[in-house]
Structure 1
Amino acid sequence: MLKGKKIVLGVSGGIAAYKAAALTSKLVQAGAEVKVIMTASALNFVGSTTFQALSRQPVYTDTFKEHDSTQIQHIDVADWADLFLLAPATANTIGKLANGVADDILSTTLLATEAPVYIAPAMNVHMYSHPAVINNLKQLDQWGFRFIEPGDGYLACGYVGKGRLEEPETIVSLLEQQYVQKSLLKGKKVLVTAGPTREKIDLVRYFTNPSSGKMGFALARQAKALGAEVTLIAGPVALPTPQGVHRVDVTTADEMYEQVLTYYKGSDVVIKSAAVADYRPKQVFDKKMKKSPGDYTVEMERTRDILQELGDKKEHQYLIGFAAETNDLEHYGEQKLARKNLDAIVMNNISEQGSGFNYDTNASIYLTKHGKRIQWPLMSKDDLAANILQQTSTELIGEDS
């Protein structure tokens, strides 16, 4: 799967740089073209001649040392890449990338590339768990960077724990798998809804729910990584738009209804993970209501059931619903699956610690109209999104065959 792929390998300054030499060799053996960029610190561990011999390509070590005077090398290399692999990725280089610092050939090229970037961290176990490093990794994750997790074991500093660069053979295998997965939803148009809606009472008050939109944004991010053309319709949330995803912002249930129907007909897969208000105030005041003695009653009316309408209008679309429940998950899930003409439903157990609104994790049961049942334990929402979309691609292949 790597044959003919143009890979830029960024080597930053840690003892794990010696593994990058073996990684270069493995990538070349897999058929890839490899260009290596080294930081000044990396040169203290391994010489550039080693990488030049293994890659049979020039090695880039200095922003101002141009190999070809007709080109600006960091832009040329950034544009050349099909894939950018940062291995080993030190805490320093990760911090630069997360904060937009470009003060050497590696960091400058990283900021200039539009190729997918894979980051393989390698550092002391305590450095890897430091809040600053964790925040930088989270920021890069939100921007769509991909990670090859470090392994557990004996580290060069003498500690035993997480922080060891993954083995070169494993990294190559993971990259090959990514190229396979990248085509799972290629050519498909995926529509995702995310977040809450807000239903106004007056100019300063509204009804809403605690949905953060994290699950929907994870689904959009993972669908894009699998090759889909993704539209994300988002309620009012404070999340960055996943790279390469078309985002449409809405506030009310009516606005979400209109936008979903606009994109529905042209979609192949529709995942409705938004927590849309079931009711809204029947009367909305155009001025702030003043506080007065006694109780106040707000009369509510139903909003339109978006998922039901999508099920009624369904033609070729593969329709997935979400439900947040505290008990009898499968009972309610099976009822909703049939009643709303869904192809699949994801039931989130929000009574379980760490699952549901505002968490970074979910525990779910996945049901399909064909009777498939999968129970997923507590995991990150990105991992859950990847599992859901892999199941979706399997179902779509079955429908097409």
Structure 2
Amino acid sequence: MKILFVITGSIAVSKSYDILKILKEKKIEINCILTNNAKKLTNIKQLKKNIIGKIYMDSDEAKQKMLHINLSRENSIIVVCPATANSIAKFANGYGDNLASTTLLASNKPVIFVPAMNTMMWNNPTNKKNVNYLRSIGTEFIGPTIGKLKCGEFGIGRIEETQNIVDNLILKLKTSQNFIKKKCLITAGPTVENIDPIRYISNYSSGKQGYEIANQLAKSGAKVILISGPTNLQPPTNVKLINVKTADEMFNKVNRFNKNIDVAIFSAAVADFKMKKVGVKKIKKNNINSLNLIKNIDILKSIAEHQINRPKFVVGFSAETEGKINAKKKLIQKNCNMIIYNKINKNNKVFELNENKISIITKNKTKNYAKTSKSNCAKYIIDSIYNEINN
């Protein structure tokens, strides 16, 4: 396990020496990237003494082909410490103008920022907007705290205490490997059932929650197969994406890839019904009195009750307009280990949005979560799965 430690041009650079020294004592390998501004503030000799690994600068990009790609792949987590308002803004807005920023953009690993700046800079509306956006996509922040700042003022913006940073990084390093060597299968998005060449039956599912779960599992070391209905989403990095359209196609692909699966998560909103016979030509409205529908196969139930190839841990989703009672019934009736429950009403419009409000239901307990980003929901879900598997 390795940490990529990105040092930016904050006056709190000296704090990074203490953090790195403790991590070295714990035999954790660290590679460092120094930005040009950080280089002006850093004692390179002292930095070298405090790490097990290498130090990289912008000039190294020309010497080593695809260095930003290699660094983003070979390290388990990326830590920006100390993080300036400029470094936060670059990552939030997709800028890639140096080794540090291109490595962050190319990363498929957990990213953690440890901010250090003046109170007015931290509270600046633009900075807060950038921080909130990064949090919404799963980027984590350690600090800042309130205290006396390097400029002499007092307020929020002080870098977090050294031991708290170290403890958080070690915990994140461990959890980044929680699903290493685990094989996970996820379904996501809607399915589409044709009525005729023009019309179809579907639902409002965007696939965002399933894609976030796939992304977080991949970041935790899992080998992930994502079987997705039609969406407008970019597939997560390091995830095998299988595109399908109908419920039958999804069922066939799930069966095909359901071999030695450790965790299967069925977040797709599969259409309950399909046409008994799809119209070859557009059906004129004057000729439609009713649609002859038949039930689609219950993919979740079929896999969860499989006698030979049942995944070791099966998670279903339950979007209900009523209470949790139906979700709890589903847990038993469909032989699941866990159900993720959404109550759908005017106050919790889940579909197509970037936020979600979930309850995680298992045989022995139910845990309710406040409304938050779907990225955070994905973390809650995979952490709960990990705890259930290992308890």
TM-score of Structure 1 vs Structure 2, range by shorter chain: 0.7 to 0.9
Unpaired segments of 5 or more residues in structure 1?
A: none
Q: Deviations over 1:119-152 (max 9, x none)?
A: 434552345755873597379x4xxx74234435
Which amino acid letter does the alignment assign opposite residue 189 of structure 1?
K
The Cα shift of 1:259 comes to 1.0
The Cα shift of 1:177 comes to 1.1
Q: Secondary structure at the match of 1:86?
A: strand
Distance 1:197 1:296 in 2: 24
**Closer, same or farther in 2 for the Cα pair 1:146/1:397, shift >3 Å?**
same
Q: Which moved more, 1:146-155 or 1:169-178?
A: 146-155
Distance 2:257 2:53 in 1: 46
Distance 1:76 1:296 in 2: 58
**Closer, same or farther in 2 for the Cα pair 1:53/1:232, shift >3 Å?**
same
Out of 147, 169, 173, the residue aligned to residue 167 of structure 2 is 173
The Cα shift of 1:251 comes to 1.4
Other-structure match for 1:15:
11
Contact 1:8–1:85 (Cα < 8 Å) also in 2: yes
Out of 214, 226, 232, the residue aligned to residue 220 of structure 1 is 214
Give the share of equivalent positions with the same residue, in percent: 33
Which amino acid letter does the alignment assign opposite residue 335 of structure 1?
K
Which amino acid letter does the alignment assign opposite residue 325 of structure 1?
E
Distance 1:311 1:109 in 2: 40
Other-structure match for 2:25:
29
Q: Secondary structure at the match of 1:377?
A: coil
> What's the C-alpha RMSD, in Å, of the aligned pairs?
3.6
Q: Which moved more, 1:114-123 or 1:260-269?
A: 114-123
The Cα shift of 1:387 comes to 2.7
Alignment of 1:342-357 (within 5 A): 342-351=336-345, 353-354=347-348, 356-357=350-351
Distance 2:128 2:349 in 1: 23
Q: Which moved more, 1:251-260 or 1:297-306?
A: 297-306
Other-structure match for 1:340:
334
Distance 1:151 1:308 in 2: 47
**Closer, same or farther in 2 for the Cα pair 1:350/1:112, shift >3 Å?**
closer
Q: Deviations over 1:163-196 (max 9, x none)?
A: 5544332222122112322343333211111111
Other-structure match for 2:130:
133
Which amino acid letter does the alignment assign opposite residue 322 of structure 1?
F
The Cα shift of 1:268 comes to 1.9
2:318 aligned with 1:323 = yes
**Closer, same or farther in 2 for the Cα pair 1:285/1:187, shift >3 Å?**
same
Which amino acid letter does the alignment assign opposite residue 347 of structure 2?
Q
Unpaired segments of 5 or more residues in structure 2?
A: none
Contact 1:90–1:122 (Cα < 8 Å) also in 2: yes
Contact 2:24–2:52 (Cα < 8 Å) also in 1: no
Other-structure match for 2:78:
84
Distance 1:309 1:222 in 2: 26
Other-structure match for 1:273:
267
The Cα shift of 1:376 comes to 2.8
Q: Which moved more, 1:25-34 or 1:100-109?
A: 100-109
Contact 1:194–1:234 (Cα < 8 Å) also in 2: yes
The Cα shift of 1:384 comes to 2.8
**Closer, same or farther in 2 for the Cα pair 1:15/1:296, shift >3 Å?**
farther
Q: Deviations over 1:280-299 (max 9, x none)?
A: 2334334445666x975433
The Cα shift of 1:30 comes to 2.8
Other-structure match for 1:385:
378
Contact 1:94–1:136 (Cα < 8 Å) also in 2: no
Distance 1:164 1:288 in 2: 66
TM-score calculated relative to the size of structure 1: 0.80
Contact 2:108–2:237 (Cα < 8 Å) also in 1: no
